[in-house]
Every structure is written in structure tokens, then in C-alpha cells.
Structure 1
């Protein structure tokens, strides 16, 4: 038998990979985690710089997804999912930007969504029952999932997004595809969308009619492949050492959790920086030891406007809820919109590099860490840039006062007609809608 997955609430029995992926959430309302986190070999760490990204990803995927997924199928999933560049851009002697926005929807969510789409397609290949994917998005998840699952046989996708709280470009990417993709426009914020989604997963009556699963980072199959690009970044920067820092823009904390998984798998990382906007749930916990969800505050980095990040449960579980252990690996800071705009302007003027608001928050996190830890200022550091700046065209143009070239992937969506289903912010209405689709 291969790797099993347990619930972070520890009230249900461990399950197989197939059950963890296709159910999305455990019955006890926790999140699935691998019962064993495999470690890479020293030889792998030494030689991985000679591999392409798909080759590196395949080596890592073998440790987790075999023997359940045959070699041929796993290779096909990875080569299809990761058919785009993952450049590491050097800004100065020690600072690097990992550009995670070269996939089809120009956001880091393409890594997890495309891998998950291929994996789910393989797992349901022999089933006569339609798989229904329900996913909440604060912006980029929706477009990545929509693109990854578009026209995939046997799979229907419903995407919940907060009305008026994502960019026009993000909304167009979600609402214009049609076919097996349905956009549900919720009169609320992202936390409301996430809450409604979780209620549906725990609705036994609904699940008797629909084969429901999730495509958020609450689904373990979307989270794991995000750990691959941490290894890739480490391999690409030439001064690999145990003092390497990663600064990660944080909203639902899936991206950060993937980095912590990579560290558990043996990636030599000194510290992770959790960089948040005004929704400072993570930094507040690291400062006080208290996890206190709050209503999300709207910011210019809207994909991080999360007041109750689901994946924080996984971080707590990884460290057995020991705040002192967490603080050894993780430090957190939060920043205002004005600070974000200021660093966007500063980096552009000094380094001629265009940061969008989420990557700018990550850059601010690194600067704050270096300010508080001057002995580590000359150590290599990687900032994750999670989306192309054209997806946030309005704020980037306003801050930098420059013309923005829109990539062809976005140009193709601008003139398409929006098509969404508007629902109130209550579960009864969502239940009735989903129930009517069967």
C-alpha cells in the first residue's frame, strides 16, 4: 500500500490517496495531510540543478504518488501540467524573484490546479459518475482551476467568487469559459465563499446526490505540487546554502504550507517569511500565539484578503501546535496598501522590475526581516512573485505611471461576455442551486 493521509483533526481513520483527493475534506472537518513525509536524498539535492523543472517534479512526485499512480501516467500528468517556464530572476547580489506566473492564467495557482486536474482525471477515468468540483476563490485560484479543468470529461466545476472583490481581469478569466465551468458570484467576501464551500462538503444529503470534491489548496493534491518549485528555486540560485530565505505572500497560506512541506522533505531552508497584507492573521499568531480569525479587509492585494486562512490548520499540525517550534522556521509581518505601493515604486525606480501588489508584499517581508536580522542581510533570499502584473493593471499603472503590456493570455479574455450565476451569501441558496443541477 502507498502513502496514507490523515485528518488534522485526528478523528477519522487515514485514507488512501484516491479517497483524499476525490473527497477533498475529511468527515471530521479537518484537512488531509500525508501520514509520512518522505525525504529526498543528499544525492538528489546535489544533482537537481542539472534537471529541468518537469524532471525535478517527477522525481519528487514519485516519492508521494507511487505506486498508486503508474510511472507512465505520472510522467504524462507532470509534462502536461508544467509545460511553461519557471524563471528565477536575480535582482541584486543576494535577492532573487521566483516568477511563478508563466502558466496559462499567469498566476502560481497554475502549478497546483493543472497537476490536480490531471491527477483527478486519471482517478475518475473508469467511473460512470460525474465528479463535481466546488472551489472558492479570492482571485487567481478560480481562473487556474477553470483553465485546468476546462472540457475535461466526467468533471463539472463550480467556482464561488466574491462579488465586486476581485479584479475585472480575474473575473473575466473565471466567467467567460462556459462548457463544464460555472461561475457562482457570491454577495460576500472570500471567507464567505470558503465557508459555503465547506458547508457543502459536510452536507450528507447533498453528497448523496453529488460526488463532491474541492480544488482549493484545502485539497492535498493541489498543495503538494506547489512544494516542487521551492526545490527548483533552491537549485537555480548558485550559492545554495542552509541559510537560504524564502519570503512568501500569504493569504490562505497554501503556498507557505507547501514550502514548509518542502523543508520537511529535506530542502535546506533557514527561514520562511510569511508576508501578509492588512489581513494579518498569521503574523498576529506568530506574535501572540493566538489564532484569531477576523472579517477580511479589502486591499489592493485582493488574493490575500482572507480573514480565516484554512491552511493554517496544516501549519499548526506540522508543528504539533507548538508555537516555539513554528517560530524557529517562520516569521511573519503585515503591510498596508500604502507600504505596498511605495515598494512597488521603489523597486521599479531602482531595479527596473515591475512588482504587482502580492509580490511587493513578499518583497516588503524580506526587507523587514533583513532590517530586524542585520547579520543575515548578505544571505541569499528568494521572493515569490505569484502573479503577472498585468492582472492588476489598474493599480500598477496608477503607482508606476507606465503603460502596461497585456499578455496574449489576458487579451483573449477581455472582449468575452461575462456569464455568472449570482447567489446570496447563505448556504440554503447554494444548496438549492447545486441540488437543482442533478
Structure 2
């Protein structure tokens, strides 16, 4: 399989290059040159297949012969070591719980897959692979824990100071070993900009082997298609069209769903839900894409003012605005609306939402009120509520328990390096510490 840049379809590379580069030299995102449709017998067997078997078939469909089958199976089995249950919250309305991994966030799937794939490529790599990752919350913890101790790799996490939850921060600032956390005086968009600038800097590219673990890397995107197939298989017997509502920041998660649909998964529609950082919902209404500085909200992992994966969404829909706006409906919600949804669902269903899942729930409810189709709705619950304990406790006016997986991080000491938000400071740090 070849992968092309969204900025130049003639620029094509193999999987190894796409994964180890992260971002194409022309600042584009890598996309598979073709997306094979999975065969009918796969979909016939889907309801009876295990999560790992589904993931292996999907991965092999995209990766092809670039990774030996036995090695790809090992990578998938390492990735899928926890469930992603579909939980009924209301009539024909379900939560897809993606927070049962080691850092209690959906990004565990992508980070674990990518760490093993990069580890596989690093075996024949003499130079250390340096992974730069910008995080607005959960990406940093998932990537840091996924790559912890992986030979031949070093991870540098950039995060906006004071704009991630305490628990999220502890999950990537307490690890040590091959993990370094840079606390940036700025926003997530500043962190993301610094990472992209580093990839385009000729001095850094000549001296270091840099790649990214954000969803701009195709190795993060491929595994994010797995759980759409698995979730669909769990509700297929209901006999209704399936709609997925995806709380979105950088839009990698919904891109994984679009990738699944391109492989033949019969998803009826998507709901792209955001907080007040509503660049994509605004585009879906106006056909105008206007990036802007992000605003801080209680759903901090979605505080993104310039979503990186938007070019991939355009590619997957053939740059056809009519097709895109027909398939994807966009909604945006305030913090007050988010809190109200959290209280409502707790009171009516006894189910505790985190702020991001609450936005996914709200978007799905809006879609259901506007459509005449009888559908099964699934919203993605992307992180455990305890990762946002302060917000959840205050909103629900009662404390929620902290799972043991999070408690272990709270007992450790934070270690981070203060960093200004200008590129010369970041470049100087890399040159002085790598």
C-alpha cells in the first residue's frame, strides 16, 4: 500500500515512511492511495467475530503486505487488550465506552498500535526515533504510556500550561524513562504549531529522526477505525441504520469512522459535535473553513481552533461539500449546555458522562430530533469521567470514585520543563537535549 500527501497526490511513500515521517515534507497528511472495501463474508461474520479478529482484518486491509501477518497480529493483539462496550443509555441510544484502556481514554487504541508499529520499524533503525506530540489532554497520556520503555524511541509531549486536568497532567509528567513533558506557556494550538514547525525545519530534520504521535500520523488513524466496526457489530441485530455521534477536537476520531465507512461499513450518518470551538460545524453550515484561536472549556481535549484532520475529511468525501454536509451533521455546545446534559443523563439514566461524552450525547439528541429516520444512535464516550473529576463532581454535586488506574498516577510527582510558545525556544531545547 502506498500513501500520498493531501497536498500532492504525486508524493507517494510506503507505510514505513508515512509512519516514521508523520507529516509529509510538503506539510500534507498521509492518506492511503486506495481504500479497499472489505469482502461480503467479513460483514456476514462480523457479529460473531472477536474485537481482536475484527481489528486484524481491518488493519490487514489497509496495511497489506507492508507488515508481515504474524507481526501485524502481534501488534493488534497488544492493542486490543481491553473491551469497548456498547451501553444502552436510552431507547435506541447507546454509549460506546472507549475508556477501558490503561489511561482511560479512547486514544489508548491508537497509541498502543502506533507504539508497536514504530517499535517494529525501529528495530532496523540505527538512529533513535524522536516522537513529538502536542496534547490538549488525553493524547499525551495515551502516547506517553503507550511508548513507555519502547526501545529505540523517545517521546516529547508538549501541553498547554494550566489547560489540562490535574489527572491528565499526572499521566504524562510522572513517567520518566524515555518520556519528557514540556509545559508550554500558550494554548494547544501553539503546541500543535510548534510540532508542525519542527517537522519542516531543515536543521532539525538533518540531525534528528522526528515523527509525530498526534492523529496527523496515519498509524494513529488506522486503529481508530477498529471500534466503529466492533460497535456496529454489537447493534447490528436491531435492524436499524446506525448513526455515530463523535465529540471532536482535532477530528481524528471521526476521520477513523469515515475510514471505516470507506471500507464498506454501512454507517448511515455521522454527527460531529464540538464545544464552542466550532470551526467544523460552522463550515458544515457555511462552506467556509475559518481557523481561529481556541477557547478554553470544560471539555478541554476538544479545545482546538484549527483541526489538523480536516484535510483528510475532505479527501475521504472527494472535496464534495454536498456529499460531506449530507453525511455529517455538525453541532456545537456551550459549557452550560454540557453541564445540563451531564445532570440530565445522571438523573434519568443513572449514567455518568464526562464533558466530552456529554457533548457527543447532545449532538446525537439534536440529530434525532431533526431526522424522521428510525435509527440506532451511538455516541462516543471518549474518556472516563474521573479524568475530569473536578468538573464532574461540581456539576453532579457529588463525588465520583477515582479508579485504581488513575490513583497510581496521583501518587507520583510531576516533572515537566517550562517552555515558551515561540519556535526558536523549542528548537533550542531540542538541539540542547536530544
- TM-score normalised by length of structure 2: 0.98
Match of 1:432 in 2: 428
Q: Deviations over 1:196-222 (max 9, x none)?
A: 000000011111111000000000010
Match of 1:101 in 2: 99
Match of 1:141 in 2: 139
Tell me how far 1:86 sits from its aligned partner: 1.1
Q: 1:43 to 1:184 in 2, by over 3 A?
A: same
Match of 1:304 in 2: 302
SS for the counterpart of 1:118 is helix
SS for the counterpart of 1:85 is coil
Q: 1:332 to 1:410 in 2, by over 3 A?
A: same
Q: 1:238 to 1:319 in 2, by over 3 A?
A: closer
SS for the counterpart of 1:13 is strand
Tell me how far 1:53 sits from its aligned partner: 0.6
Tell me how far 1:12 sits from its aligned partner: 5.1
SS for the counterpart of 1:239 is helix
1:243–1:269 contact (8 Å) kept in structure 2: yes
**Which of residues 375, 380, 388 is equivalent to 2:384?**
388
SS for the counterpart of 1:182 is strand
Alpha-carbon distance in structure 2 between the residues aligned to 1:203 and 1:320: 31
Match of 1:110 in 2: 108
**Which of residues 177, 190, 194 is equivalent to 1:192?**
190
Tell me how far 1:367 sits from its aligned partner: 0.8
2:240–2:376 contact (8 Å) kept in structure 1: no
**Which of residues 259, 265, 268 is equivalent to 2:266?**
268
Alpha-carbon distance in structure 1 between the residues aligned to 2:238 and 2:32: 28
Q: What pairs with 1:177-188 in structure 2 (closer than 5 Å)? A: 177-188=175-186
Q: 1:211 to 1:242 in 2, by over 3 A?
A: farther
Match of 2:410 in 1: 414
Q: Deviations over 1:267-292 (max 9, x none)?
A: 00110000110000110000000000
1:55 aligns with 2:65: no
**Which of residues 291, 294, 319 is equivalent to 2:292?**
294
1:239–1:380 contact (8 Å) kept in structure 2: no
Q: 1:424 to 1:92 in 2, by over 3 A?
A: same
CA RMSD of aligned residues (A): 1.0
**Which of residues 237, 240, 247 is equivalent to 1:239?**
237
Q: Deviations over 1:240-265 (max 9, x none)?
A: 55721000001000001110111110
Alpha-carbon distance in structure 2 between the residues aligned to 1:325 and 1:49: 29
Which structure 1 segments of 5+ residues have no match? Answer: none
Alpha-carbon distance in structure 2 between the residues aligned to 1:91 and 1:196: 40
- How many residues are aligned here? 434
SS for the counterpart of 2:362 is helix
Tell me how far 1:237 sits from its aligned partner: 1.1
Which structure 2 segments of 5+ residues have no match? Answer: none
Alpha-carbon distance in structure 2 between the residues aligned to 1:144 and 1:302: 16
Match of 2:323 in 1: 325
Tell me how far 1:66 sits from its aligned partner: 2.5
Q: 1:234 to 1:11 in 2, by over 3 A?
A: closer
My pick for the range that moved more, 110-119 or 78-87, is 78-87
Tell me how far 1:321 sits from its aligned partner: 2.1
Alpha-carbon distance in structure 2 between the residues aligned to 1:84 and 1:270: 27
SS for the counterpart of 1:235 is helix
1:100–1:384 contact (8 Å) kept in structure 2: yes
1:158–1:182 contact (8 Å) kept in structure 2: yes
1:358–1:385 contact (8 Å) kept in structure 2: yes
Tell me how far 1:174 sits from its aligned partner: 1.1
Alpha-carbon distance in structure 1 between the residues aligned to 2:164 and 2:379: 23
- TM-score normalised by length of structure 1: 0.98
My pick for the range that moved more, 221-230 or 231-240, is 231-240
**Which of residues 218, 221, 224 is equivalent to 2:219?**
221
My pick for the range that moved more, 64-73 or 212-221, is 64-73
Q: What pairs with 1:333-372 in structure 2 (closer than 5 Å)? A: 333-372=331-370
Tell me how far 1:437 sits from its aligned partner: 2.1
Alpha-carbon distance in structure 2 between the residues aligned to 1:21 and 1:226: 15
Q: 1:240 to 1:5 in 2, by over 3 A?
A: farther
SS for the counterpart of 1:271 is strand
2:3–2:15 contact (8 Å) kept in structure 1: yes
SS for the counterpart of 2:13 is coil
Q: 1:350 to 1:390 in 2, by over 3 A?
A: same
Q: Deviations over 1:306-355 (max 9, x none)?
A: 00000011111222322111012101000000000001000000000000
1:12–1:27 contact (8 Å) kept in structure 2: no
Tell me how far 1:49 sits from its aligned partner: 1.2
Match of 2:153 in 1: 155
SS for the counterpart of 1:246 is strand
Tell me how far 1:92 sits from its aligned partner: 2.6
Alpha-carbon distance in structure 1 between the residues aligned to 2:90 and 2:158: 40
